[in-house]
Amino acid sequence: MSQLSCNTDLTPLPDELLYSFQARIGLHGAILSPKSLIERLYNNRKIAASLVYSSHLETLADALNHVNANDLINRHTLFPLAAPFIPAERCLQCITRMKSDNGLGLHLASGYAASKIPKLKELRYCPACLEAQIKQFGEPYWMRSQQIIGTDVCVFHECTLESIANIKKGQHRHSFLPATTRHRCTARPAHIQPSDRLVSKACEQLLSNTDLPSPELGQWTNYYKHLARNLDATKGIYVDFETLKSMVSDYWSPEWLKRYNLSLSDTQSNWLHSIFRKHRKTFSYLEHIVVNAALLKGQFNIVDCINNAAIQAKSLRKYDSVSTVVMLPTALLNEYKANWLRCLQTQSPKFARASHPALYTRIYRADRQWLIATNKQYRVKRPAPSDNVDWEKRDVNTTKSLFRVIYSSEDDLSRPRASKRWLMYQLPNTSTVEKYIRKMPLTLLFLNRYAESVTEYQIRRITYQLLTNPHRHITRKWFLMRAAGLSNERLTPMTNQFLNSIGSSQFGLDLFFQSKIKNNRKGPI
């Protein structure tokens, strides 16, 4: 187990982002190399610096001795914003992955990857808060509450949050950028909108209440159905979407909604449609805040909303059209049944019901089980649909299309790997080919024969670099692998043999000089 050899008494500051805490450790220990820092903290040189969620937290807690993994998750990451809105079982899985050394799929399981709202790509800070941190703690740090997507201002100091642009993707993925005094600047006053205060207050409640329940998807469905019903935003048992859309549009400006990818449309796939239907996926904290704030006119507490959802039934309510059984005299009921049987001798149950609705209703209310069992006996068996597709012709046409794909892309050495799936996705009828590939033997034979293997793909990437990269070290194995994006772990034996042959022969040098002459003819870039 790796033990941190310096600054073991360093602790996270109030509302400090975990990313910032790790950056301060490197700053206090004068650890300049990003990989040296993560190796000391995690005994691993491959961990990437994450702004939102982190894994290996048990290892980090053991290295520091005086911090707790649960406290790091609840008080210094943005996970409390997502925890109440994902099912309890998945929430526990996310916490387990954050603690363990296997964080694979963490951003997917938490709903962060599929969320509509923009992703956090920049570190943000309030200049006034930065000055206050220096006076109180002697050093600045990145605050967790200022990295929340949904507000761009500091409500406490009423100024605009500044951004650190050099933290964007493309920088060193293992480095932690610390907050320093060079980030000092003059605070820019901002006009605080009611929406900014509302979102900031709701997110502060989520971050400070770490013991909130995690309602199931069915409970969220029932919560929003009851909310719409209490506001008379329903048409019978259905939700009146136009009324809900009008309420949300009146409370939130279109510009604000568009800024966070929450624009409203009339399509059935719109997020506002989906949140009032049966929940088949989770929704982000910002979507829940937007809906509840609009429908409750801003007089809401997000913690109360979550607790109300947690007490709802976990399954959807099943509506039964028969509330009471109508008792009929036996002789009269038998007469009705006999009349219904005579109708079924000449008609199917569906047409008999349409032509004798009153008779059907009387029997249904008096003896529903008998009616259903009888109708099943007389149910008309429909013939299986005939296969009108000429699969042989479709097979030939699909194979021709795949040949055209191969011919049109064979000169492009920079294209993705031409796997079976990639080839199929170049066709206009991809889903049909995937579903009915067993009926198209020529297409299957083509895919098995012409799909590019991993070795072929790796050699093509190497060849592309040899032909296009003018660097003087391009024929050296280590540089060529880096330029082609390859690693020793994923290198196949045949590719390794190909690389060795390049370094030990004149072949690689000839390719290099030919490419250099070709680039010189094109002129300077």
- Which pLDDT tens digits describe the chain residue by residue (525 residues)? 444 544 567 889 999 999 999 999 999 988 888 888 988 888 888 888 888 888 999 999 988 878 899 999 999 999 999 999 999 999 999 999 999 988 888 988 999 988 999 988 889 999 999 999 999 999 999 999 999 999 889 999 999 999 886 554 445 678 888 988 888 888 888 888 888 899 999 999 999 998 999 999 999 999 999 999 888 888 877 888 999 999 999 999 999 999 999 999 888 889 999 999 999 999 999 999 999 999 998 888 999 999 999 999 887 654 444 445 667 888 999 999 999 999 999 999 999 999 999 999 999 988 888 999 999 999 887 776 666 788 899 999 999 999 999 999 888 888 889 999 899 989 988 888 888 999 999 999 999 999 999 999 999 999 999 888 888 888 888 888 888 888 888 899 999 888 888 766 545 445 444 544 444 444 443
Q: How far apart are CA 110 and CA 84, in angstroms?
A: 10
Residue in the structure block whose two tokens are 């349409």? 354
Q: How far apart are CA 320 and CA 368, in angstroms?
A: 12
Closest CA to 38 of 18, 60, 21: 60
* Count of other CB atoms within 10 angstroms of residue 516: 15
* 3-state DSSP helix/strand/coil % of the chain, to nearest 5: 55, 5, 40
Closest CA to 348 of 320, 391, 309, 377: 377
Instruction: Find out whether 219 and 85 touch, Cβ atoms under 8 Å.
Output: no
Closest CA to 50 of 120, 108, 116: 120
Phi, psi angles (nearest 5°) of residue 163: -120, 145
What DSSP string describes 111-169?
A: TTTT-SSPP--SEEE-HHHHHHHHHHHSS---BGGGG-TT--EETTTTEEPEEEGGGSB
User: CA-CA distances (angstroms) from residue 269 to 176, 265, 424?
Assistant: 39, 9, 27
Task: For residue range 433-477, list pLDDT tens digits in order.
Answer: 888 999 999 999 999 999 999 999 999 999 999 888 888 888 888
Task: For residue range 180-200, list pLDDT tens digits in order.
Answer: 888 888 888 888 888 889 999
Instruction: Find out whether 264 and 291 touch, Cβ atoms under 8 Å.
Output: no
Q: How far apart are CA 91 and CA 109, in angstroms?
A: 8
What predicted TM-score, i.e. pTM, was given to this entire model? Answer: 0.62
